[in-house]
Amino acid sequence: MKPEVLMNLGRLVIVLGAIAASLLLIFAPWQPPQERPCTMREIRLGLDLCGGVTLTLEAQIPPGTSPEDRQKIMDRSLSVLETRINALGVTEPLITQAGDTRIVVQLPGTTDPEQARQLVGSTALLEFRKVVKDGPPGSTFTEEIDEEVLMGYECAKPELTAKCQAYIVKKEPLMTGAVLSKAEVRFNPQPGSGLTPIYIELTFNDVGAHQWRDVIIQLKPEADRIAAVLDRVVYSAPTIAKSLYDTARRQAKVDQSVITGNFTTDEARLLAAILSAGALPTELKIIQESIVGPSLGRDSIEKGITASWIAGIVVLVFMVLYYRLSGFIAVFTQLLNLLVVIGMLAGLKATLTLPGIAGLILLIGVGVDSNVLIFERMREELRLGKVARAAIDAGYHRALTTIWDSHVTTLITALILFIFGTGPIRGFATTLSLGIIINLFTVLIGTRLVFEFMKMRRVERLSI
C-alpha cells in the first residue's frame, strides 16, 4: 500500500475509534441500569444542574497547630462528616478537603438546607451535666462560679417555645459522649412510661458503661436531675429513676441511656446520626453555602440542552448553506467534536455545570472557525485556478499555522480559568479546554480524512 493510503487508513481508525470510545464512555452499557442522582448517562452533573446543597466549611484550628496535627484533625473531621451523612442516607455525597483547613460538602438532591446546616454545623459535643435548677426563660438566675445557664432545645423551635426552659447546670460535665458506641432512634408505643413517643437510645462502650454507672450512683434517685447537653443545648433533663439507681448499685456497669424530647422522626434521625458519628474534633464554620432547588436545577439543564441543540442546528445550517457539501464536513467535524468532548467528560469523571454547557455552546460557534479558515483558503486557491486536489492541499497547509494560533490563545484562557476558577466556573474551563484540544484533533484528522477521501475519488470540482 502507498504510504498515503496507509496514513488515511490510520486516520479512519482513529476517528472511528474516538467515536466508539466516546459512545461507550457516555452510555457505559456494562453498567447496571440504575437511577443515580446527579448523573445523566455517565456524565456527572454539577449541583447547579441537579439541585442540592454545597457547603464550604472552615475548621477552626488554633494557630500554632503543627501541620501533622492539623491534618489529623482534618482527617477525623472528614470521617465524622462522612459517617453522619451516610447515616442519613444521602445518595452520592461528595466530601472533600480543599486547601489546608477547608472541607467542601456536596449533597445532591438534598432539599432541606436546615438539616444540612445542622448535619455539618454541630460539633456534636455530648455532655451529661448535673442540673441545679430550671425555670422559664428570663427568670433571674443566680449561678455560682462553677455553674452556667443553658437553654433547652425547644427554645429554638418556634412551634415549641411554650415548652422552652432555661437550666442552671454545673460547668464540669459528669461524662462526655466520647464513650458512646451508638445512638439509635426508638419509638415508644405506650405513653406514660416516662419516655416520649420518639426517643434516642444511647449505647456506651465498655469504658462508658463503667463511667455511667459511677455517675448514677453518686446521684440521689428521684431527686437529682441530669441533663443531656449537645453543643451547649439541653435536650432532656430527667431525674434518675429508682429502678435505674438500684440496678447501678448492683452492677459494675450500665451500658444504656436515653435522650427523650419532643422530636419529629426527622429530627431524631438527624440527632442519632450526629451522635453516632461522634464529636467533631473542632468547630466547622460554614463560610460558603449554596442551595439550588430541584426546580431551578431542572430548569437550567432543560434550557441548557435546548440552547445547545438550537445553537448547533443554527450554526450548522448556516455552514451548509454557505459552503454546501463542504459545509457538511464542518457539521461532521463539530458533531465529532461534541461527541468526543462529552465522552471525555464522562471518562474523566469531570462535572458538567451550567457554565460548562455555555462553554459547549460557545465551542460550537468558535469550533467551526478552523473549518472556515481551511475552506476560505481553499476557495482562494480555486480562484487562482488550481485544480481540486491542489486546492485541498494548499488550503489545508496554509490554514494550519493560523489554526494552531487560534487554539493556543483560547487554551491560555481556558487553562488559567481552570487553575483559578472554582465550582461552576471550573466547569466552563473544563469544557472549553477539552473542546479546544479535541477540536484540533477533529480538524487535523477528521476534516482531513474527508478531504483525503475526496482526493482519492479524484473529484474534479469541490463543492465549497
Partner 1 sequence: MKNATSVSAPRFFSIVPQETHLDFMGKRFMGVGLSAVLVLLGVFAFVQIWTGNAKMGLEFTGGTALVVDFEQAVPIDQARAVLAQNGFGDAQIQDIKGTNQLAIRTKLSEEGEQVAARLQALFERSFRASTPRIVSTEFIGPTIGRELRDKAIWAVIFSTVGFLIYIAFRFDFKFGVAAAIATFHDVFAVLGLSWALGMEFTLLIITALLTIAGYSLTDTVVVFDRIRENLKKHQRDPLLKVINTALNQVLSRTILTSLTTLLAVVVLYLLGGPVLRDFALVLMIGVIVGTYSSIFIASPILLMWRRRGLTAQVKQ
Tell which positions 364-383 bind partner 1, by CB under 8 A: 364-366, 368-369, 372-373, 376, 379-380, 382-383
Are 167 and 204 a contacting pair, CB within 8 Å? no
CA 300 to chain CA mean position, Å: 17
Task: Tell me which stretch binds partner 1 (CB under 8 A): 144-152, 177-185, 259-267, 424-432.
Answer: 424-432
- Comparing CB distances to partner 1, the nearer of 179 and 366 is 366
Residue from the set 135, 194, 298, 420 that interacts with partner 1 by CB under 8 A: 420
Name the minimum Å distance from CB 431 to partner 1.
12
Are 226 and 130 a contacting pair, CB within 8 Å? yes
Alpha-carbon gap, residue 392 to 379, rounded angstroms: 9
- Strand-pairing partners, residue 233, are 151, 230
- Comparing CB distances to partner 1, the nearer of 202 and 417 is 417
Name the minimum Å distance from CB 16 to partner 1.
27
- Comparing CB distances to partner 1, the nearer of 5 and 314 is 314
Site for partner 1 in 117-136 (CB under 8 A): 117
Alpha-carbon gap, residue 385 to 252, rounded angstroms: 104
Name the minimum Å distance from CB 428 to partner 1.
6
Q: Does 295 bind partner 1 (CB under 8 A)?
A: yes
Range list of β-strands (E), 49-165: 52-59, 94-98, 102-108, 126-135, 147-152
CA distances from 398 to 75, 374, 378, 451 (A): 56, 8, 9, 15
Q: Does 421 bind partner 1 (CB under 8 A)?
A: yes
Question: Which residues are CB-neighbours of 22 under 8 A, at least 6 positions away?
Answer: 339, 340, 342, 343, 344
Q: Does 412 bind partner 1 (CB under 8 A)?
A: yes
Alpha-carbon gap, residue 232 to 199, rounded angstroms: 19
Q: Does 362 bind partner 1 (CB under 8 A)?
A: yes
Residue 49's φ and ψ, nearest 5 degrees, are -105, -25
Alpha-carbon gap, residue 192 to 276, rounded angstroms: 27
Name the minimum Å distance from CB 163 to partner 1.
19
Instruction: Find the helix or strand (DSSP H, E) in which 351 lies.
Output: strand 351-352
Q: Does 306 bind partner 1 (CB under 8 A)?
A: yes
Name the minimum Å distance from CB 359 to partner 1.
9
- Comparing CB distances to partner 1, the nearer of 68 and 114 is 114
- Comparing CB distances to partner 1, the nearer of 252 and 321 is 321
**Nearest residue to 346 via CA among 26, 96, 47:** 26
Q: What does the block give as the cell for 121?
A: 454545623
Site for partner 1 in 425-444 (CB under 8 A): 425, 428, 432
Residue from the set 194, 416, 453, 456 that interacts with partner 1 by CB under 8 A: 416
Site for partner 1 in 51-90 (CB under 8 A): 56, 58
Task: Tell me which stretch binds partner 1 (CB under 8 A): 85-93, 127-135, 219-227, 309-317.
Answer: 309-317
Name the minimum Å distance from CB 69 to partner 1.
22
Residue 186's φ and ψ, nearest 5 degrees, are -125, 150
Site for partner 1 in 168-227 (CB under 8 A): none
